[in-house]
Amino acid sequence: MPDFTARQAEIMFESERRARRLMEQQLEAANSEVRFASLARTRLRLARDLHDTLVHSIVALLTQIRLTRHFLATDPARVSDGLAVAEEAAITGLARARDAIARLRMPDDLEPGSDVEKMLSDFAQQTGIEVSTQIADAARPGLQDHATTIRRILGEALRNVEAHAKARRVRFDAVVERTEAGARLIVDVRDDGRGFDGTVPRQGHFGLIGMAEFAELAGGQCAVESAPGAGTLVRTSLPLTVSATNDRSGAVGA
C-alpha cells in the first residue's frame, strides 16, 4: 500500500511538472507574439516618421536645388535667394527629424492624449484654411482610447490637405455608430480641395497607405474617397470598448 501511494504521488508530481512546462511554453509563445507585434508597430511607426519628416523635407530641398540650378543658367541674380530658401528647407527638415526622433523614444502608451481640437486649431492658424469641428459627446471616450491612432491619421490627412489639396475648408466629424456587431468610432476628415482620381496609382504617397495600416493595427479601417474637383474624404472606423460606449450616450450626425 505505501508503495502504491508513493507511485501515485510520483505520477501526480510528474503530471504537474509537464503541465507547468506546457504552460511555460505557451506563455513564452504568447510573449513572443507580443514582442513581434510590438516590433511590427515600432517598424511601422519608424517608417511613418521617416515619411513624414525626411521624405517631405528632401523633396522640398531637391525641388529648391533644381530651381536654383535653373536660376544659375537663366537668372544668376536669383541664385542667392534660391540658396537661402534651400537652406531654410534644410533647417526645417532637420528640426522635423529631431522631433520625430524624440517621438520614437517615447512609447506609444506614454504618449499624450490626442487633442484633436488643438491639432485642428493649430492647423487653421498655421495655414489659414478654415476648419470646422463637430465631435459627439459619445465619441470623446473613443477618441481618447484610440488617441495615438487618431493623432497619426489626422496628422497625415492634414499634411496632405496642406501639401496637395489647395483646399479652403476642412471639416472634422467624430460620431459613434452602433450596429448589431457592436459600436464603432467613425472619424471623418473632409476637405473641399481639388481632389484626385482614386483609381490611378499614385507614386510616393506612402502616407495614404500608412493611415490604413495604423487603423488596421487598432482593429479598424481607414479609407480615402476622392475625385477630381470633388475634394477628399478620409474616413476611419475603429472598434469601441464596452467602457467607451457606456461612458456617454448619443451621437451627432456628420
The answer to whether the CB of 185 falls within 8 A of the CB of 191 is no
- Using the structure block, give the residue that is written with the C-alpha cell 487633442: 115
The stretch 248-252 carries a mean pLDDT of 46
- Domain match, 106 and 165 both: no
Segment among 6-10, 12-16, 178-182 with least mean pLDDT: 6-10
Bridge partner residues of 175 (DSSP): 186
Residue 254 resides in a domain: no
Give the mean pLDDT of 230-253: 71
Are the C-beta atoms of residues 195 and 226 closer than 8 Å to each other?
A: yes
Angle between helices 206-217 and 147-160 (to 10 degrees): 160
Task: Pick the last residue of a domain from 79, 95, 111.
Answer: 111
CB 177 within 8 A of CB 188: no
pLDDT of 16: 77
User: Could you read off the pLDDT of 143-164 as tens digits, one per residue?
Assistant: 988 888 898 899 889 988 988 8
CATH classification at residue 151: 3.30.565.10
The pLDDT tens digits of the residues spanning 187-237 come to 999 999 988 876 655 544 556 777 888 888 888 999 999 999 899 999 999
pLDDT in tens, 108-139: 444 444 488 888 999 999 889 999 999 999 99
**Does 89 share its domain with 130?**
no
Same domain, 87 and 125: no
| CA distances (Å), origin 4, targets 17, 18, 107, 189 | 20, 21, 57, 74
The domain boundary residue, chosen from 69, 96, 111: 111
Task: Give the pLDDT confidence of 27-68 residue by residue, as tens digits.
Answer: 666 655 555 555 666 666 666 666 666 777 788 888 888 988
Closest CA to 149 of 192, 84, 80, 212: 212
Alpha helices in the chain (DSSP H): 2-50, 56-74, 79-104, 116-127, 140-145, 147-160, 206-217, 242-247
> Among 79-83, 101-105, 212-216, 245-249, whose mean pLDDT is lowest?
245-249
Q: Is residue 97 scored above 80 in pLDDT?
A: no
Which pLDDT score is estimated for 253?
A: 41
Please check whether residues 66 and 178 belong to one and the same domain: no
| Within a domain: 253 | no
In this predicted structure, the answer to whether residue 176 has a pLDDT above a threshold of 80 is yes
- pLDDT for res 186: 96
For 49-94, give the secondary structure using H, E and C: HHHHHHHHHHHHHHHHHHHHHHHHHHCHHHHHHHHHHHHHHHHHHH
The grid coordinates listed for 238 are: 475603429
For residues 162 and 207, give the distance between their C-alpha atoms in angstroms, rounded to a whole number: 13
Question: 234: domain range?
Answer: 115-247
State the pairing for strand pair 221-226/169-179. unpaired
Domain assignment present for residue 12? The answer is yes
Regarding whether 241 and 122 lie in a shared domain, the answer is: yes
Is the same domain home to 143 and 77? no
Instruction: Decide if 252 is inside a domain.
Output: no
Does one domain contain both 67 and 191? no
- What total of structural domains would you count in the chain? 2
Which helix (DSSP H) or strand (DSSP E) does residue 236 occupy?
strand 232-239
DSSP label at 194? Answer: -
Task: Judge whether 120 and 161 are in contact, CB under 8 Å.
Answer: no
- Structural Rg of the chain based on CA atoms: 26
Read off the C-alpha cell for 144: 481618447
pLDDT of residue 210: 77
Residue 138's CB is within 10 A of a number of other CB atoms, namely 23
